[in-house]
Amino acid sequence: MKDKKIVNNIQKDKYTTRKEVLTSFFLSSEYELATKRQIAALLQIPKNDFLQLDKILNELQDEAIVYIDESGRYVPFDKSHLIRCKYQAKSAGFGFGIVQEGEDVYISSKNLNGAMNDDDILVEICESSGRSREGKVVKVIKRNTDRVIGRFSKSKNFGFVVPIDDSIEDIYISKKNSQSYRDGQVVEVAILKYPTLKNKAEGKIERIIGDSKDAHIDSKSLYISYGLDKMEKFNQDVVEDVKKIPQNVLEEEKKNRIDRTGERIFTIDSADAMDLDDAVSVKKTENGDYILSVYIADVSHYVKEKTALDKEAINRGTSIYIPGKVIPMLPKELSNGICSLNAGVERLALGADMIISSNGIVQSIEVFKAVIKVTKKMAYDKVYKVISSTEDEETIKEYGEYKEDLLLMEELAKILNEKRMKEGCINFNIPETHIVLDENEDVKTIEPYPITFANQIIEEFMLVTNMAIAEKYYFLELPFIYRIHEKPDEEKLRDLNMILSNYKLKIKGIKDVHPKALSDILNSIEDEKEKDIISTYMLRSLKLAKYSNECLGHFGLNAKYYCHFTSPIRRYPDLFIHRMISKAIENNMDFKENELLRYEKRAEEYAKSSSEMEKNATKIERDFDSLYSAIYMKQFIGQEFEATICSVTSFGIFIRLDNTIEGFVSFNDMADDYFIYNEATRMIVGKRTSKQYKIGDKVNARLIKSDVLTKQIDFELI
């Protein structure tokens, strides 16, 4: 046994050494392009090591050290003009090459060269393109899609599958592979041949998901197409880890923790929430300061490093929320059980006591490990009844003894909100879509998500906590994951100014814009629906917020220091920084240098993976919203609606209904005139009538189509 271990170590060392030699070989200034056979000859690698050579060369391609050109020669990336990126399809007709740094690359359908969504690709920039950065796919390095869900369509000599994901083109099914299937069936297809410039992808049907007779086939198909069915259950290793976790706080776990079980502590959330990871309490001192105590579930106490549970949480990165269902980052035994701050039971938490002045300035913050017992689980709607003095008898009976606590919370939240608004935090006034399903999982209604100041109380407390935590540990130089939002591009702001000019508004100082410049514009718009639309367009003009191991500030919040600390049950970055804070508390900030370097590397790695998983979750959630919107609106075909124009394009306009659902009006359905698009003003003008339509205009529209397959809702103007 010992001899086998020694042999394995020797082989491992040999592999590592050979990989280092090959890397140096490729990066050498004297390297001339060579094939695998030539490389083996030059480095005198014996034939019985060719499998190892293959493995190393594949790894070097994955690590973006080299790629293979059309002649089979290995080309170092640093000697190439090509860009390595991941293809993100926006439709079957175009997409973008997503790069690590710099501007993403636009790729049209004619330049795809067979690339599919999520493929790793090599792109060459088109010199003559009118766009600032347009490219063509030179090579697909790695295919990342091997199965597709879609609807089968049968013809006499062959069939094809129309994917649920409309960014993927139809997949050809040969006559031999299509004879056993019926038109309209939803199927899973394994890809046999990937698309080329001339040919569509070819596939083989692996299984039938269902057919059009199934009332929920569309949501079921979308669910499976994203692999959510496989995420419902956790693997056996994770299950075994969870079995070892107690479902009650043990006496030995309370050691070295501050006991806050006797304090009045509250959770405020939606009435049906099960994963309660934050709780709060507020007191006021004699000199007028406030003591805000925020308690966050101590998830890192249960999710240990290097366990199967932790690895799965890293892979998932975030929980995914779709109507009627949650795909959790952590098993329900944790998310709804021992980590959920349920009322009346002891729970472990990371606490933060903040002393906040009467003008909203955080004067100090103390972070500690605690054991708590939540006094009362509260719901937003009932809290709002209390603070707005509109209580009914039931609410008075249930919440009456906590009224003073809630009024004090409201008082502090208003101070914090006023301070943020005064300093220029951008308050995007965009209503969220709230899709309500009935007991049969059919869409009952779609409406704006109800937001009151009860929601704002928790929002303000979480924001101030995240900022204070980020600032504290930035100066302590702890390896950390920050939530960053970089300054917008000048070109995007110029485009936004064109739209704002229609309302006699303008962003000043776009070369070095301050968030307050954007905030002031939104605050100057009185019409709420118009403000919603301008907020949406302004948000699209900004960069996406993401995670980083560097503290680069948050533009939208006008915050120099910001992180996500308050939701470790559903976001991995929060869990990681909880782990770091716990270690800092336990070790009194005494870390070894190699330990700090190791955690800094992990922070960088997890920030990157969590940002990607967040994008993926957002796409899934939006797709489900679009699907359920199309299903819901089918019943209203032929009916008229009041709407607001939310986007104007060269091929039509997009409108938004009061219930937040968006639809499209094609120029073909505006038959009373011929409309010309003005790109400079983002406006269309009728050639005959001079009738103008711009973003924010109110219109009356008739629903003419709601296509569940394409998730597209079409209107005509009245």
Per-residue model confidence as pLDDT tens digits over 135-186: 888 888 888 889 999 999 988 889 999 998 878 889 999 998 888 899 889 9
Q: How far apart are CA 421 and CA 65, in angstroms?
A: 47
Check whether residue 320 and residue 288 sit in a common domain: yes
pLDDT confidence of residue 132: 62
Nearest CA among 243, 211, 210 for reference residue 229: 210
Question: What residue type is 124 in one-letter code?
Answer: E
Residue numbers of the domain that contains 11? 2-78
- Give residue 532's pLDDT band: very low, low, confident or very high (50, 70, 90): confident
Beta carbons of 258 and 343 less than 8 angstroms apart: no
pLDDT confidence of residue 166: 79
Q: Which of 8-12, 99-103, 272-276, 372-376 has the highest mean pLDDT?
A: 372-376
**Domain end point (choices 126, 142, 158):** 142
How far CA 591 is from CA of 49, 394, 477, 599, in Å, comes to 42, 53, 11, 10
What's the pLDDT tens digit per position in 598-649? 999 999 999 999 999 999 999 999 999 999 999 999 999 999 999 999 989 8
Please provide the average confidence, as pLDDT, over all residues in the chain: 91
How far CA 547 is from CA of 215, 482, 522, 598, in Å, comes to 40, 6, 27, 18
- Here the CATH number for the domain that contains residue 93 is 2.40.50.140
Check whether residue 265 and residue 389 sit in a common domain: yes
Average pLDDT over residues 221-240: 95
**Residue in this structure with the two tokens 């499998």, named with its chain if needed:** 51
**Domain end point (choices 103, 125, 142):** 142
Q: Which of 196-205, 469-478, 487-496 has the highest mean pLDDT?
A: 469-478
pLDDT confidence of residue 323: 95
To 5 degrees, how large is the angle CA 93–CA 97–CA 103? 120
What percent of the chain lies above the pLDDT cut of 70? 97
Nearest CA among 324, 347, 323, 344 for reference residue 335: 347
**Domain end point (choices 578, 603, 625):** 625
Q: How far apart are CA 497 and CA 494, in angstroms?
A: 5
Nearest CA among 474, 475, 495 for reference residue 483: 474
Looking at residue 449, the DSSP 8-state letter turns out to be P
pLDDT confidence of residue 616: 92
Would 425 be classed as within a structural domain?
no
Check whether residue 11 and residue 33 sit in a common domain: yes
Would 403 be classed as within a structural domain?
yes
Q: Which residue has the higher pLDDT, 102 or 659?
A: 659
Check whether residue 351 and residue 473 sit in a common domain: yes
Beta carbons of 291 and 365 less than 8 angstroms apart: no
**Residue in this structure with the two tokens 């070892």, named with its chain if needed:** 244
The two tokens of residue 268 are 């405020």
Check whether residue 177 and residue 209 sit in a common domain: yes
pLDDT confidence of residue 251: 95
Average pLDDT over residues 239-255: 96
Would 422 be classed as within a structural domain?
no
Which of the residue ranges 105-114, 275-284, 448-457 would you say has the lowest mean pLDDT? 105-114
Check whether residue 608 and residue 531 sit in a common domain: no
Would 632 be classed as within a structural domain?
no
Check whether residue 335 and residue 446 sit in a common domain: yes
Check whether residue 692 and residue 672 sit in a common domain: yes
Q: Which residue has the higher pLDDT, 457 or 15?
A: 457
Query: Does 10 score more than 70 pLDDT?
Result: no
Q: Could you list the beta-strand ranges (E) of 239-277.
A: 258-260, 266-269
pLDDT confidence of residue 129: 53
What's the pLDDT tens digit per position in 279-321? 999 999 999 999 999 999 999 999 999 999 999 999 999 999 9
- Here the CATH number for the domain that contains residue 47 is 1.10.10.10
How far CA 664 is from CA of 247, 509, 604, 654, 697, in Å, comes to 51, 34, 41, 5, 15
* Torsion angles phi and psi, residue 509, rounded to 5: 70, 45
To 5 degrees, how large is the angle CA 703–CA 706–CA 709? 170
Would 426 be classed as within a structural domain?
no
**Residue in this structure with the two tokens 């779709």, named with its chain if needed:** 322
Average pLDDT over residues 247-264: 96
Task: For residue 331, count CB atoms less than 10 angstroms from its CB and return exposed for 0-12, middle for 13-18, buried for 19 or more.
Answer: buried
Would 691 be classed as within a structural domain?
yes
Beta carbons of 553 and 484 less than 8 angstroms apart: yes
The two tokens of residue 556 are 């939208």
Beta-carbon contacts of 323 under 8 Å, excluding residues fewer than 6 positions away, are 435, 436, 437, 443, 624, 625, 628
Query: Does 99 score more than 90 pLDDT?
Result: no
Length of the chain equals: 718
Which of the residue ranges 75-89, 372-386, 441-455 would you say has the lowest mean pLDDT? 75-89
pLDDT confidence of residue 460: 98
Check whether residue 274 and residue 356 sit in a common domain: yes
Beta carbons of 256 and 310 less than 8 angstroms apart: no
Beta carbons of 342 and 374 less than 8 angstroms apart: yes
Q: Which residue has the higher pLDDT, 471 or 82?
A: 471
pLDDT confidence of residue 20: 87
Looking at residue 245, the DSSP 8-state letter turns out to be S
Check whether residue 270 and residue 405 sit in a common domain: yes
- Give residue 564's pLDDT band: very low, low, confident or very high (50, 70, 90): very high
Q: Which residue has the higher pLDDT, 532 or 404?
A: 404
Would 253 be classed as within a structural domain?
yes
Query: Does 367 score more than 90 pLDDT?
Result: yes
Which of the residue ranges 81-95, 155-169, 340-354 would you say has the lowest mean pLDDT? 81-95
Beta-carbon contacts of 628 under 8 Å, excluding residues fewer than 6 positions away, are 219, 323, 435, 443, 446
Beta carbons of 148 and 118 less than 8 angstroms apart: no
Check whether residue 299 and residue 364 sit in a common domain: yes
Check whether residue 136 and residue 157 sit in a common domain: no
Query: Does 488 score more than 60 pLDDT?
Result: yes
Beta carbons of 195 and 116 less than 8 angstroms apart: yes
What's the pLDDT tens digit per position in 173-221? 999 888 889 988 999 999 999 988 788 899 999 999 998 888 899 999 9
Would 55 be classed as within a structural domain?
yes
What's the pLDDT tens digit per position in 48-73? 888 888 888 888 887 778 888 878 89
Domain count, the chain: 6
Element at 282 (helix H, strand E): strand 278-284
